Every structure is written in C-alpha cells, then in structure tokens.
Structure 1
Amino acid sequence: MDDQLLINKFIDSLWLEAGLSKNTQSAYRSDLQKLSLWLLQQNSCLHKARREELLTYLAAKMKKGAKSTSSARTLTTMRRFYRYLLREQLVPEDPTLKIEHPRVQRSLPSSLTESEVDSLLDEPDKDLEIEHRDAVMLEVLYASGLRVSELVGLHLEQLNLQQGVVRVMGKGGKERLVPLGDAALDALKDYLSAVRPLLVVGGGQSVVFPSLRGREMTRQTFWHRIKLYAQRSGIRKNITPHTLRHAFATHLVNHGADLRVVQLLLGHSDLSTTQIYTHVAKARMQRLHSQHHPRG
C-alpha cells in the first residue's frame, strides 16, 4: 500500500469531513511525508508502523532540537491519521493509542505595546501605492484580530462597509462577523476608492489586497512586509505573522474586554485557547498594584 496514496486519501477526508484550511492540510501532509521518509529509512512504511517506531521517531525529532510544541503537533497528526486508517480498516490497530502527549509549556505570545503598534501603523509611506495598501492591511489586522491567512485571502464580498464588519471563514469552515472600528473602516474606504483600482490587474479580481501581480498575496510576503516596517520604525522585537493578532487580543484584555468576546472575535473554538490572555491581564494588574498601592 503506497504511503503517498494513503496520505492523499487522508487529506481528502480532512477537507470533506472537517473543512480544514489549506494551511492546516499542508501541515498535516508535511508531517506525514516526513514520517513516511523516516520509516522508509527503517525499512518500514506508514500502514505497517508500530508504536515503538513512532516513539523512536518522536525521540529522534526531540534529539535534533524539535520543540515540545512541534512534537505535540506531529503526534496530533499521527493520531488523526491512524484513527482514519483504523476507521477505513486499513490497519488492524492504532499504534498511537498508548503514546503520551509531550507536555507543552504555554508561553505568552509575542506582542507589541500600544505605542509600538502606533509606530508600526504610521511607518508605511501612503504616497506610495504599495505602502498605502500595506498601511491599510496593518490597520485592518490590528482592528480585527484576523489571522494573516484570513487577511490576505479577504475578498470584496466579505466586506460590509455600511455596517462596518467583515465576514470571515475561519478554521474548520466556521464563519464569524468581526467589527472593524472607525479608524480601520475609514482607511479601508479610502483605499478601496483611491488605491486598490490602481493595483488590480485586469477586471473581475475580487481580492481586497492584491499583490504586485494583482493576485492574492501569500502569508510569507505579508510577513516580510511587516518585518520591513518594524525594522524601519525601530522595533527590535521578533515579529511573527500573528504579532498584531496577539496585540489586538492583549490590548482588548488590558482595557477590560470580556474573555468570551475576545474568543468570538479571534474565532477560537475553545475558550481554553483564549485563556492564555488572562495571564496578560493578571500581569498588568500586578504591575499596577505594585506601582500605585501604598504597600505595593
């Protein structure tokens, strides 16, 4: 039984049953292809893999410096894959059943202060069409907390400028409405009328933020654009594609937003994913207490 064929069938099932995003599907595919290659070197294959081999593979990854988060994701992939094979009666048993999940130390996401966000958002030169586009993308990202993949994949029909909201299809095909706020809404209206028409190549393109070629921008391209503006504005922090999303959530919590509201805005299916931001609020309260309490 060909490993690649099994992987393809599994990925197809993910799309049909769970509606997982292309990025998630790609991550699953990558994990399984790496495992398949390693098993091949051990004279084995995916549908014949034993628990001991999978444990050895995970240990080898850790020895090479893989973080616990990476190993946990790999194990999640393997579990989902072998449950699919078992359900389809392609393997006699699930070799991942008695493999324990590695303990993942949940750290606070990298974020920016409000003044750093202001500096970043003010950095693009709006006299340049491309930088004007980037400025609006940064404004919308910080105002809405969208995932970068959701931002670059945004199409005109998802915008409701009259109501000031954007309709987003998130992970697992779950739809949510996210308000934009006055600053982002005004910037978006100005961009759509004055700048976007100059960037669109050919008619019928509906992508809101087209690339230089008039197509949908990649996440990696936008990440490089963010890093460029961070460098120009003097921000020395490690900027990731999710930095402004984390800043959005952090600043909401710091200003008293209810965690359930933040969960809805971020599109988290489980509140436990959002609860990491309670540590942000706790740290802020402790800092304020020590600064202002007479016995702090």
Structure 2
Amino acid sequence: MSRDHASISSFLDAQAAEAGAARNTLLAYGRDLRDFADWLNARGQAMSTITRDLIEDYLTHCDAQGLSRATRARRLSSIRQFTRFALEEGWREDDPAIRISGPRRARSLPKTLSKDEIAALLTAAPTIARNAADAARNTCLLELLYSTGMRVSELVGLPVQGCRGNPEVLVIRGKGSKDRMLPLGGPARIALAEWLRHRDDAPDKSPLGRLVAGPEGRWLFPAPGAEGHMPRQSFGRMLNQIAIAAGIDPTRVTPHVLRHAFATHLLEGGADLRSIQMLLGHADLGTTEIYTHVMDERMKELVLNHHPLARVGGPDTRRTTQQSNNGTHGRPFE
C-alpha cells in the first residue's frame, strides 16, 4: 500500500470510529480521495504536500473529464474533510482547501409520484413474485418505504427484533448513527405482520428457511451475501420490475423517488416542514424546504389546467369579449 493510500485509510478509520460516518459515505470518501491521490502521483506529487493550486488544478481536470457539478462538489468536499483531518492530526501546518470555492450544486426539484401511481405500485408488488412468501416480502418492502420515507439502506438493513410485536413505530438508525422514530401506518403494519408470518413459517430446508436459521436471520429481509440482508441493488431491480408491471416508466421509479413521494404527500396533507424533516432524518431544515417548491409547481399546474379562467372559451374569454364590445380592453388571465 502506498503512503498516500495508507493515510487515506487512516482518515477513513477515523471517520468511521469518531464521526460515525455511514458505510456509503466512507465508500464515497475512499473513491474520491484515491482518485485524487492517483492524479497527484501521476504528477510526482503526494497527499502530504498538496497545495491550493494543485487542488484547483484537479478540479479543473475533473471538469474537463465531463464530471457533473454535483460530482465535482462532492470530490472537493472529500478533499476538504481529508485536509482538515490532516491538520488536526499534525500531518500538516495548514489547510490548503479551506478557502476554495467549489461548484455549487444545481438545486433541482425532487421527482415524485402521484398517489394513484403509488397505489398501482403497491397493487403490482405481489404480482412479480415466485411464491406467496416473496409476494408478502415485496408488499412489505414497498409499504414500509412509502409509510415511513426511510432511506433504502435503512430499509434493507432493518433488524428483525425491532419489527416484532406489531409495532406502532420503528426505531431507525440513520446517517451518522443517529436514531429516529418512524410511525407505521395500518397497511404497513399489516404487511409487516404478513411477511413475518411467512418468514417465521418457512420450511427448514427451503432457501428462506435456511437463511432465517443462519446468521442472516438477524435481518428482517435476510439474503445470501456478505451483508446478510437484501442489497440495495437487488431492491432497485425488484422495484424496476414492479414499475413495469404497474404500467409506469421504470426510469421514473427509484427508492429515492418513493421517499420523495412520502414527503410530498405528507406536505399536501398538511404536515409541517419540521415534522417532515424529523421523519426524513434531514440534519438541515433547508434540505426539507425543497418540497415546498414541489407544492408551488403543483399549485401552478392546478391553476393553469383546472381554473375556469385559464381555459380557452372559459369565463375569461367571455368577459374579454364583453369588455371589447363595451369599448374596453380585457387582459387575459396569466
């Protein structure tokens, strides 16, 4: 292992132990910093001697590669975390990344689904299953995700013990190892109980029965593999099949879109932003405020498509005609 890669490993270990960084965050840090280290090494430089100019040259290189603004912003963030750690550990006497302004992320509206589309997905979930147990699992996965708005990594990593006893709330361990409580709606509780029944009654020699009896049995959704539970990628593929069965473009349906749908539908139902922030596990209320823009867009669409004054031939047209006949000029509805 090179000296640079060894220092990156030390940084990642500290992030995991002291900052409680999630596994996916650590993987992203590792990828970004190793790419930067390799770029430096190709130029005869090292992580221990990086300067502000080198970091800015690297960001220019990333831009020339066609990397998105979000990816470049994330790579700069990874470098900042590392240089701050190096300063705190005494590896350096300065922080060369502290005053670098990175590319601002474009703030796009979150994609979401209508309530009818969510209903169609829930109806289609059991239809792609091979057996009754798989049907119960598929329904449980979707009901839990839409009922709670949890992240897909939180969903597939649910321990089974916290899901027994017909719970009214689930305790979720999210980013930064922070716990939050998520209420369960009636349909989600029914789906959870049905899946647990199939899970617990699985024959010993069946694939599911062997998983439940093994170390994978500690997870609500056990699966073969290093993690012992259903991988996020497997859930994504299953969701793709469900979307097709529901007659919805699968490119519009992702685990995160279901999370957006949960928040958007709550806001439409009158929930306040602070409550939605707590349910989603957002550290910053500003992150949650993006959903108000979704509501603004929907309200605008409702007015333009459904208000009588917005329709050609509607009351506004008649009013304009009447005003014109009276010698005045009406102003069309905008």
In structure 2, the CA distance between the partners of 1:192 and 1:162, relative to structure 1 (3 Å rule), is closer
Q: Answer with 91-100 or 267-276: which moved more.
A: 91-100
> What percent identity do the matched residue pairs reach?
39
Amino acid at match of 1:251: H
Cα shift at 1:101? 2.1
Counterpart residue number, 1:216: 229
Output the TM-score relative to the length of structure 2.
0.83
Local SS of the residue matching 2:18: helix
Q: Answer with 149-158 or 207-216: which moved more.
A: 207-216
In structure 2, the CA distance between the partners of 1:166 and 1:160, relative to structure 1 (3 Å rule), is farther
Local SS of the residue matching 1:242: helix
Counterpart residue number, 1:177: 181
Structure 1 residue 238 corresponds to structure 2 residue 239: no
Cα shift at 1:283? 1.7
Q: Contact 1:111/1:243 (CA < 8 Å) preserved in 2?
A: yes
Q: Contact 2:113/2:257 (CA < 8 Å) preserved in 1?
A: yes
Q: Contact 2:133/2:195 (CA < 8 Å) preserved in 1?
A: no
Counterpart residue number, 2:219: 207
Counterpart residue number, 2:136: 132
Cα shift at 1:203? 4.6
Q: Answer with 186-195 or 141-150: which moved more.
A: 186-195
Q: Contact 2:87/2:93 (CA < 8 Å) preserved in 1?
A: yes
Q: Answer with 43-52 or 199-208: which moved more.
A: 199-208
1:86-128 deviations in Å (ceiling 9; x for gaps): 1111022211122102121110122211111111111133644
Alignment of 1:67-216 (within 5 A): 67-123=68-124, 124-125=126-127, 127-159=131-163, 161-195=165-199, 197-198=201-202, 199-200=208-209, 201=211, 202-203=213-214, 205-211=217-223, 215-216=228-229
Q: For 1:119 and 1:197, how far apart are their aligned partners in 2?
A: 29
Local SS of the residue matching 1:166: strand
- What's the C-alpha RMSD, in Å, of the aligned pairs? 2.0
Q: Contact 1:10/1:81 (CA < 8 Å) preserved in 2?
A: yes
Q: For 1:240 and 1:49, how far apart are their aligned partners in 2?
A: 39
Q: For 1:131 and 1:183, how far apart are their aligned partners in 2?
A: 15
Local SS of the residue matching 1:103: coil
Q: Contact 1:152/1:218 (CA < 8 Å) preserved in 2?
A: yes
Structure 1 outlier segments of 4+, above 6 Å: none
User: Which is greater in Rg?
Assistant: 2
Can you give the 5+ residue segments of structure 2 that lack an aligned partner in the other structure?
203-207, 311-334
Counterpart residue number, 1:227: 240
Q: For 1:211 and 1:20, how far apart are their aligned partners in 2?
A: 24
- Give the total of aligned pairs: 296
Q: Contact 2:173/2:180 (CA < 8 Å) preserved in 1?
A: yes
Local SS of the residue matching 2:104: coil
In structure 2, the CA distance between the partners of 1:289 and 1:161, relative to structure 1 (3 Å rule), is farther
Output the TM-score relative to the length of structure 1.
0.93
Q: For 1:219 and 1:38, how far apart are their aligned partners in 2?
A: 31
Higher relative contact order (CA 8 A, sep 6+): 1
Q: Contact 1:158/1:168 (CA < 8 Å) preserved in 2?
A: no
Q: Contact 2:20/2:176 (CA < 8 Å) preserved in 1?
A: yes
Q: Contact 1:167/1:176 (CA < 8 Å) preserved in 2?
A: yes
Structure 1 residue 247 corresponds to structure 2 residue 287: no
In structure 2, the CA distance between the partners of 1:97 and 1:111, relative to structure 1 (3 Å rule), is same
Amino acid at match of 1:67: S
Q: Answer with 148-157 or 199-208: which moved more.
A: 199-208
Q: Answer with 263-272 or 40-49: which moved more.
A: 40-49
Q: For 1:196 and 1:43, how far apart are their aligned partners in 2?
A: 59
Q: Contact 1:111/1:244 (CA < 8 Å) preserved in 2?
A: yes
